[in-house]
C-alpha cells in the first residue's frame, strides 16, 4: 500500500512540475487533489487508506470546530502527533520541488466543513 502511495505521489509530482514553475502558480485545489486527497479524500472524508493512517474527516462539524486556522497552519508546516502524517509543506517542497505558502490550504480545508 505504501508503495502504491509513493508511486502515485511521484507520478503527480512529475506532472505537477510541468504545471507549476513558481509559488504564484500553485493551485491549492490541484495540489490537494494530487497529494492530500490520497488520504483525506476528494470530498474531505478520509479514504480507506486515510482511515488506516488516522486521517481526520474534514467534513465533521466537531472536528472543524476543534481546530483554529492557526492550528491547521501549524499542522501543515510542523506536523501533528500522528506518526503517519508528514507536513504538506515538506511534501510539496520535496516531492514537487516548489516552495509554497501553505496558508492557501486553510480555506480549502475549511470549505469541506458544514455550510
pLDDT score for 10: 52
Could you give the 3-state DSSP secondary structure of residue 23? helix
More confident residue, 27 or 69: 69
Over 90: is that where the pLDDT of 105 sits? yes
pLDDT score for 25: 72
Over 80: is that where the pLDDT of 13 sits? no
pLDDT score for 16: 47
Q: Flag whether 115 is in a domain.
A: no
pLDDT tens digits, one per residue of 36-91: 999 999 999 999 999 999 999 999 999 999 999 999 999 999 999 999 899 999 99
Cα(106)–Cα(19) distance, integer angstroms: 22
Domain that holds residue 31: 2-110
The answer to whether 108 and 28 are in contact (CB under 8 A) is yes
Number of domains in the chain: 1
Q: Which residue has the cell 474531505?
A: 44
The answer to whether 46 and 56 are in contact (CB under 8 A) is yes
Amino acid at each position: 500500500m505504501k508503495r502504491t502511495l509513493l508511486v502515485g505521489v511521484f507520478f503527480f509530482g512529475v506532472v505537477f512540475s510541468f504545471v507549476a514553475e513558481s509559488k504564484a502558480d500553485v493551485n491549492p485545489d490541484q495540489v490537494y487533489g494530487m497529494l492530500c486527497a490520497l488520504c483525506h479524500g476528494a470530498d474531505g472524508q478520509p479514504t480507506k487508506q486515510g482511515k488506516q493512517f488516522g486521517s481526520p474527516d474534514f467534513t465533521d462539524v466537531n472536528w472543524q470546530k476543534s481546530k483554529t486556522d492557526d492550528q491547521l497552519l501549524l499542522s501543515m508546516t510542523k506536523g501533528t502527533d500522528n506518526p503517519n502524517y508528514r507536513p504538506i509543506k515538506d511534501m510539496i517542497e520535496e516531492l514537487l520541488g516548489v516552495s509554497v505558502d501553505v496558508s492557501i490550504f486553510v480555506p480549502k480545508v475549511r470549505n469541506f466543513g458544514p455550510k
